[in-house]
Amino acid sequence: MSTVPVPGSMRNAMRGSRALGPARPDEQFEVTLRLRRRAPLSADSLDGTRSPSSRAYLQHSQLEEMHGADPADIAKVEAFARSAGLAVVGASAARRSVFISGSVETFEKAFGVKLEYYEHPTKGSFRGRTGTIDVPSELDTVIVGVFGLDNRPFAHSHVSRRNVSFAAQFGGFTPPQVAQFYNFPIGLDGSGETIGIIELGGGFRPADLSAYFSQIGVPAPQVTAVSVDLGKNAPSTADSADGEVMLDIEVAASVAPKAKIAVYFTANTTDRDFLDAITQAVHDEVNHPSVISISWGGPEGAATDSFQTQFDEVLQSAAALGITVTIASGDNGAADEGPNEWDGVAHADFPASSPFALACGGTRITVSGSTVTAESVWNQQASDTQQDSFGASGGGVSGVFPLPTYQQNARVPANVATGKPGRGVPDVAGDGDPASGYLVRVDGQEFPIGGTSAVAPLWAGLITLINQSLGHRAGFINPILYANPKALNDITVGNNRVGAQNVGFDAAAGWDACTGLGSPNGSKVLAALGGSAK
């Protein structure tokens, strides 16, 4: 049987890892196969330049019928899987996915791969592979991605905690206070909207949410946990991923308290988990999120090209449905990696680097009363133990995605590694420094948290209010924001440079690779999108 490689499936060994030996032949796991679209999305359905009121978004049924997977393709792929000895767990034309399960031995034979166990000094042990994934020639272009064969770590939370020695000096702002600082439109509460939140681990306790919202005087939200693959709402301790989960819920729901919150829980063991979570959220016809917030990611080079391509295509589907996706840009400055993993080169964070993401960077604010008196790029590096918070706003230039049309006049520099133009990250920013961060409650404890993880749900909350005010979805808003930069507070002080090499970028007038166009003036953002503030 002749085979062909799946485009973008090439894997190299993880830098710093060592092979321990072949994976156990009878180890069982599941894999997601992504299939081609019936027809490409039209340029009109992805046009974000028009006012949201003049857009005709696709309905879920229309997207599935016109741009989902062809049932004939699904049948071919299912037949191939069964003939290879793999079990078909399920399929979704809308999500363009076929879900299969089997053993290491069976998967190796079906896809021409060799699976081994590896060990990394900081990222632990994992099942991995090198080389490409092969499929039968008759399925060339039909199968466009195979995810879950290896479970090397990729995404991590972009939450940042305050230095404990300084925490007692500043308890954190409540999210409604931050919304006031940024002039969010008043008289709105998110009624009729749903915010989707992607979580790769952790959980929430209803008692904590009840106590938190009672304390800050905001109605407790309706929160639904949605299980994706093997994920579930699994709270544990305050120093776990629970901090990310609670930050996301508490920020978004405090800003838009009458919006429903759907939290999509998945594991963080394979690229499959992350991809399945976003496809389920975007195509969710039960909860119908109009905004999705993601506070997880990793350096572009850590993921395969096919993963990034397919994730980006899901965000394109979100745009066609009128769903806005806000994504944190990272907490390690231009490095986008911690000092123990960094290779000394600037990296943009993915999925924030997708052109269809609203990428969210971080700032540090100084406040007098209810007024922000100063705002700069968040950059407090862990190398200085006297700093009151650690981390820096992620930002840079993509080495994967080309410069989008909406950034043509933004003076985005070329990618340093490739010398080519690329998608600039972030688009926008907001308060992200834990030293000027958010009061949260996690597993019975209260303390300030920041990171660009806080900025994504903050912007998600703002867009939810705007959707309510407009009476329809704002959808893909990047082109409108770039055409209306005065709707944001331009940040011109600071940088996201890191390391002894001083790698990174400086804030400047207009767009920059630290804070994008700047932090929001909520009422002006509403006006730019065709609404009027009270």
Please indicate, yes or no, whether residues 459 and 426 belong to a single structural domain of this protein: yes
Residue 301: per-residue pLDDT: 84
> In which band, very low, low, confident or very high, does the pLDDT at 533 lie, cut at 50, 70 and 90?
confident
Residue 169: per-residue pLDDT: 61
Identify whether the C-beta of residue 497 lies closer than 8 Å to the C-beta of residue 379: yes
Residue 381 domain flag: yes
- pLDDT of residue 383 exceeding 50: no
Residue 533 domain flag: no
What whole-number distance in Å separates Cα of residue 261 and Cα of residue 195? 5
- pLDDT of residue 422 exceeding 70: yes
Residue 168: per-residue pLDDT: 52
* CA 290 remoteness from chain centre: 15
The domain boundary residue, chosen from 125, 147, 169: 147
424 versus 339: the higher-pLDDT residue is 424
Residue 534 domain flag: no
Please indicate, yes or no, whether residues 397 and 519 belong to a single structural domain of this protein: yes
Identify whether the C-beta of residue 403 lies closer than 8 Å to the C-beta of residue 422: yes
- pLDDT of residue 416 exceeding 90: no
Residue 167: per-residue pLDDT: 46
> In which band, very low, low, confident or very high, does the pLDDT at 382 lie, cut at 50, 70 and 90?
very low
The domain boundary residue, chosen from 119, 147, 175: 147
pLDDT tens-digit readout, 173-216: 999 999 999 999 999 999 999 999 999 999 999 999 999 999 99
Please indicate, yes or no, whether residues 124 and 166 belong to a single structural domain of this protein: no
Please indicate, yes or no, whether residues 101 and 221 belong to a single structural domain of this protein: no
Bond before 426 cis per omega within 30 degrees = yes
Active site residues: 244, 248, 453
What whole-number distance in Å separates Cα of residue 481 and Cα of residue 486? 9
Residue 171: per-residue pLDDT: 78
Determine the average pLDDT of the residues in 467-495. Answer: 98
What whole-number distance in Å separates Cα of residue 77 and Cα of residue 69? 11
Q: One-letter amino acid identity for 140?
A: D
Residue 499: per-residue pLDDT: 84
Residue 256 domain flag: yes
- pLDDT of residue 65 exceeding 50: yes
Residue 156: per-residue pLDDT: 86
Give CA separation, 448 vs 243, 309, 312, 338, 374, in Å.
10, 36, 33, 21, 20
What whole-number distance in Å separates Cα of residue 159 and Cα of residue 433? 10
> In which band, very low, low, confident or very high, does the pLDDT at 344 lie, cut at 50, 70 and 90?
confident
- pLDDT of residue 384 exceeding 70: no
Residue 141 domain flag: yes
Q: Other C-beta atoms within 10 Å of 237: how many?
A: 13
Calculate what percentage of the chain has a pLDDT beyond 90: 86
SS3 375: strand
Residue 180 domain flag: yes
Please indicate, yes or no, whether residues 342 and 489 belong to a single structural domain of this protein: yes
Number of domains in the chain: 2
Q: One-letter amino acid identity for 491?
A: I
What tokens were used for 359? 């990428």
pLDDT tens-digit readout, 144-174: 999 999 998 789 898 877 655 444 566 799 9
Q: Which of 156, 127, 132 is nearest to 341 (CA)?
A: 156
To 5 degrees, how large is the angle CA 134–CA 301–CA 331? 140
Residue 500: per-residue pLDDT: 80
pLDDT tens-digit readout, 91-140: 999 999 999 999 999 999 999 999 999 999 888 899 999 999 999 999 99
CATH of the domain at 518: 3.40.50.200
Identify whether the C-beta of residue 67 lies closer than 8 Å to the C-beta of residue 39: yes
Please indicate, yes or no, whether residues 394 and 472 belong to a single structural domain of this protein: yes
- Report the residue count for the chain: 534
What whole-number distance in Å separates Cα of residue 32 and Cα of residue 307? 11
Residue 153: per-residue pLDDT: 78
Residue 371 domain flag: yes
* Domain ranges, residue 131: 3-147
What whole-number distance in Å separates Cα of residue 465 and Cα of residue 259? 9
Residue 326: per-residue pLDDT: 98
What whole-number distance in Å separates Cα of residue 167 and Cα of residue 238? 15
Please indicate, yes or no, whether residues 474 and 337 belong to a single structural domain of this protein: yes
The domain boundary residue, chosen from 112, 147, 182: 147
DSSP assignment letter at 189: -
Residue 154: per-residue pLDDT: 85
Question: For 221-304, where are the alpha helices, taking DSSP H only?
Answer: 242-255, 271-282
DSSP assignment letter at 221: P
Which regions of 180-222 does DSSP assign to beta strands (E)? 194-199
What whole-number distance in Å separates Cα of residue 388 and Cα of residue 395? 22
Please indicate, yes or no, whether residues 496 and 435 belong to a single structural domain of this protein: yes
Please indicate, yes or no, whether residues 186 and 65 belong to a single structural domain of this protein: no
232 versus 342: the higher-pLDDT residue is 232
What whole-number distance in Å separates Cα of residue 150 and Cα of residue 533? 49
SS3 145: strand
Q: What is the mean pLDDT of the chain?
A: 94
Please indicate, yes or no, whether residues 283 and 344 belong to a single structural domain of this protein: yes
Which regions of 324-395 does DSSP assign to beta strands (E)? 324-328, 349-350, 358-368, 371-377, 379-380, 391-392
pLDDT tens-digit readout, 236-284: 999 999 999 999 999 999 999 999 999 999 999 889 999 999 999 999 9
Please indicate, yes or no, whether residues 427 and 294 belong to a single structural domain of this protein: yes
What tokens were used for 175? 């999210």
pLDDT tens-digit readout, 49-62: 999 999 999 999 99
Residue 158: per-residue pLDDT: 85
Please indicate, yes or no, whether residues 197 and 143 belong to a single structural domain of this protein: no
DSSP assignment letter at 102: E
- pLDDT of residue 501 exceeding 60: yes
Residue 80: per-residue pLDDT: 98
